[in-house]
Copies of this chain bind each other. A is one copy, B any other.
């Protein structure tokens, strides 16, 4: 099976896990479930749960058993996108090629849809946690990654440093937290569940998260609105702290290469079975959306 075939196999499993979670969303009032499904089932790369499945698979673990935690990862990611897109935050009208949640359902419903997806993520985590100690620890790891010592710290720093003269230190704080923690978490969770080396997972995941955000900034600058499915060039407009602003384009591309190398290096300690994960690194480096 080549990389794309394998990616699609994981992706299909992820979509199945999300469909199962969405099936339970027969909430009243119906607009609540609709707005949650609108954003959760909008497709996309599903990078975080695919990475989770791939890391489990690499460690010889039957990844199909972990539907709840896979869906929880995407619920957390989707909630963060809905809140990020709000007018008071990044004020983005498009996401995944469609009007953002608040453009369709209004701001109030979008705030609630985000809150609801975060709550649902934890409900899925608790369901997983009932299966035993290592599941509880994996769920806890996700909780820590997306909380005020993780993703939200990064979002807060991103707000704080917009339009200000931040440097490399502030930039990397944002990278490691806003994007990095939720990309590192799936690898760490996989290591916890499969009895792998959690430290090696963190090293790989952390570098992969930074690489992912480096290429995000580069793509935003280069502009490829259609393929990215969101408004581009916005970072510059809003004077966001990006690698291109701090280092320039050429140095940013070089930095991305360095982080891709760091990822490949860290992978060696994570698993002997690493062909697909190496492909993930190359994808994160070379993606055009």
Residues in A lying within 8 Å of B, measured CB to CB? 25, 27-29, 31-33, 36, 79, 83, 86, 88-89, 106-109, 111-112, 114-116, 118-120, 122-123, 125-127, 129-130, 136, 139-140, 143-144, 146-149, 152-153, 155-157, 159-160, 173
How far is it, in angstroms, between the C-alpha of A174 and the C-alpha of B112 when the chains are bound? 15
Copies, count: 2
CB–CB A136/B143 < 8 A: no
Which single member of B27, B108, B157 contacts A88 (CB below 8 Å)?
B108
Q: How far is the CB of A8 from chain B (nearest CB, A)?
A: 30
Which one of A27, A109, A143, A156 has the greatest number of beta carbons of chain B within 10 Å?
A156
CB–CB A123/B152 < 8 A: no
Secondary structure class of chain A's binding surface, majority of residues: helix
Closest B residue to A121 by beta carbon equals B122
Which single member of B29, B31, B108, B156 contacts A32 (CB below 8 Å)?
B156
Known contacts A36-B148, A153-B27, A156-B29, A111 near B112 by CB under 8 Å? no
How far is it, in angstroms, between the C-alpha of A141 and the C-alpha of B31 when the chains are bound? 24
